[in-house]
Amino acid sequence: MDERTYLDWNATAPLRPAARAATVGALDTAGNPSSVHAEGRAARRLVEEARLRVAALVGAEPTNLVFTSGGTEANATALSPSLRAADGRPVEVLLVSAIEHPSVLAGGRFSADAVVPVPVSPDGVLDLGALERQLGALVREGRRALVSLMHANNETGVVQPVAAAAALVHAAGGLLHVDAVQGAGRIACDIKVLGADLLTLSGHKLGGPKGVGALVRRSDAIAWPQPLIKGGGQERGARAGTENVAAIAGFGAAAAAAAHDLAVEGQRLTALRDRLEAALTAEFPQTVVFGREAERLPNTSLFALPGVKAETAVIGLDLAGVAVSSGAACSSGKVAASHVLAAMGAAGNLARGAVRVSLGYSTQEADIERFLAAWRTLAQTLFKDSRGIAA
Ligand code: PLP
């Protein structure tokens, strides 16, 4: 059986047909978008059309969107002590939720001792009380915070209380950056409704090409006078380098398609994900679904069956034609304990068994059935073995 079932959409989404067409079409546009001649203007049109489409997905002004090489670069750009709001006051401390993606946890251009984690609940939701206390302490010290909170977690799919956090951050005079790489295109993600000052997006998570993303600001009063990449003044001086026109065009098409399908796909994927979890827990009642009581993305399930190691399960499923991942898959091949599950207080043996199944626009019921059949075979063997060893 050659056919594969791809259930690792949080690692990357297969290219949408519309994104593919836009990318391939743009490859034949000869001009540099900074050139004034007709060829240059044609390339510029593709970039600006994509800017409109991506900005529309998050309710932003197109002029407030800067294209980057991906989510990682957008995060590193946003997390800068040089960030300024209208009042010009500097940000001195970076508060990050303990479950952020490594590209946020690394702290951008803040020194390591200026990066402070904020805890989460056992369900993987930001502890708003802790955030309020940490912000209060900074206010008393007269220091301004930049807070980075993800829209939805890449491992658990748990949606974070971004608007509530924004209210706390702004009441304390701080700024809020939201890594919306996993949420945008899957659930509503309006920069104003979320209350974010800055928002990170990545093309490949919503069905665009890999290697393109964006940093969006809520208003032009927010500026980063020291760009991460300096040079030719592209992107209004906010990010130098000739734009990746083909990838940007594909990103724009993917954003438009994702926005168009958002509500319908959300319902469809929730039903498929719930069917998967119902079957898993019915057949193996010891199964633990992480973050199950919290609001989650429609497409994500992270679970563990005690005694079944995630690496073994992922390899076994791969051999059976099913692609899933063990927790975070950003750097595949790395078998490290998940910092997300550690922050949620999950027991080590359970965390080591965490398997992430994530769905997307082309996932069908047959894919879920195929996964379940493969899991049944695998889990029965591994679970039996683990009990044999333990006995
Ligand atoms: N932020 C989150 C939440 C992610 O899941 C990822 C990728 O896995 C990134 C940022 C990095 O995005 P990119 O792969 O575009 O650099």
Looking at residue 335, what is its pLDDT?
Answer: 60
Active site residue 330: yes
Q: Whose CA is nearest to atom 12 of ligand 1?
A: 71
φ and ψ at residue 278, rounded to 5 degrees: -65, -45
Quickly state the pLDDT bin for 191 (edges 50, 70, 90): very high
User: Is 213's C-beta closer than 6 angstroms to any atom of ligand 1?
Assistant: yes
- Give the full edge-to-edge strand order of the sheet including 355-358: 288-289, 300-304, 355-358
Quickly state the pLDDT bin for 320 (edges 50, 70, 90): very high
Quick one: what percent of the chain has pLDDT higher than 90? 92
How many angstroms is it from 83 CA to the middle of ligand 1?
21
Average pLDDT over residues 12-29: 98
d(CA 268, CA 305): 26
- The minimum-distance atom of ligand 1 relative to the CA of 210 is 15
Q: What is the pTM of this model?
A: 0.96
- The minimum-distance atom of ligand 1 relative to the CA of 73 is 16
Average per-residue pLDDT in the chain? 94
DSSP annotation string for 79-142? S-TT-B-TT-PPP-EEEEETT--HHHHT-TTS-GGGEEEE-B-TTS-B-HHHHHHHHHHHHHHT
Given the residues 222, 288, 330, 350, the one annotated as active site: 330
* Structure confidence by residue, pLDDT tens digits, 41-56: 999 999 999 999 999 9
Partner residues linked to 145 by β-bridges: 93
Looking at residue 389, what is its pLDDT?
Answer: 41
Looking at residue 390, what is its pLDDT?
Answer: 37
d(CA 7, CA 4): 10
Three-class secondary structure of residue 224 per DSSP: coil
Q: How many CB atoms lie within 10 A of CB 227?
A: 17
How many angstroms is it from 140 CA to the middle of ligand 1?
34
User: Is 101's C-beta closer than 6 angstroms to any atom of ligand 1?
Assistant: yes
Element containing residue 147 per DSSP (H, E): strand 145-148
How many angstroms is it from 309 CA to the middle of ligand 1?
25
User: Is 201's C-beta closer than 6 angstroms to any atom of ligand 1?
Assistant: no
Looking at residue 391, what is its pLDDT?
Answer: 31
Average pLDDT over residues 195-213: 98
